[in-house]
Amino acid sequence: MRRILVIGIGAGNPDYLTVQAIDALNRVDVFFIPDKGEEKSALRHLREEILARFVGKKRYETVGVDIPRRRAAGEDYRGAVDDWHAALTSNYENLFERHLTDGKVGGFLVWGDPMLYDSTLRLMERLDVEVEVIPGITAVQALAARHGIALNHIGEPVLLTTGRKAMLGLPQGIDSVILLDGDQAFAHVPGDYDIFWGAYLGTKDEILISGHLSEVKAEIEKVRAEARQTHGWIMDTYLLRTRR
């Protein structure tokens, strides 16, 4: 059976790579590099930097993967994602057939960690491959580290969710980390929160803002819009911590 290493590369700083990840990079013969539109050049650059810096003498090949566009989700978000995964799966079947010959090992460099809002493992489940997962540092860990905070109140839960879900309402009294937020949900959620916000975490463009949500949300909106304009894309995440 073909062997695939799904390697978490951390969420923005090459120094986030673990020793286990570096070891795994040096076992891969063919890296499959998905092309994800607007974020692509910055992310591709980081992946290239990681390979150049951490792969020793081993010869490897990189194969770009065109990601088909996902149809507009409308009401049926799960259905749209499912169709998209089916298209991606058949793409990978063909690529593995072509490039993973003679026992070659395939590899994916997954932003952050593969267990958090990433499709790679779900896609691999659909294929006849043996998968090994190497964990990485997530954007959530980077956020907490850069703000120098613990994520949870003592003995309390933390919800990980998306901007899309947050717009529909957050559970009262629970702290939440919001990822994938195109809508700036923090500016709309009711509740008495402190926010710990971070953009481009771990990179040279990193921005951190924290404070009482009602006092800093206008500043975050402004800084976020300017950064997005400057870079052409943005990746941000934040903790909404209930005030006690």
Ligand X SMILES: C[S@@+](CC[C@H](N)C(=O)[O-])C[C@H]1O[C@@H](n2cnc3c(N)ncnc32)[C@H](O)[C@@H]1O
Binding site for ligand X (CB under 6 A): 11-12, 111-113, 116-118, 138-139, 179-180, 198-202, 235-237
Q: C-beta of 132: minimal distance to ligand X in Å?
A: 17
Short-list 129, 107, 128, 124, CA closest to 8: 107
Q: C-beta of 107: minimal distance to ligand X in Å?
A: 16
Q: C-beta of 226: minimal distance to ligand X in Å?
A: 16
* Of residues 104 and 227, the one with the C-beta less far from ligand X: 227
Short-list 163, 160, 144, CA closest to 201: 144
**Nearest residue to the partner ligand X, using Cβ:** 112
* Of residues 104 and 121, the one with the C-beta less far from ligand X: 121
Place of tokens 């995964």: 85
CA separation for the pair 40, 35 (Å, rounded): 6
Strand partners, 6: 108, 133
Short-list 46, 52, 55, 48, CA closest to 21: 55
* Of residues 138 and 210, the one with the C-beta less far from ligand X: 138
Short-list 190, 197, 196, CA closest to 227: 197
Q: C-beta of 228: minimal distance to ligand X in Å?
A: 12
* Of residues 138 and 176, the one with the C-beta less far from ligand X: 138
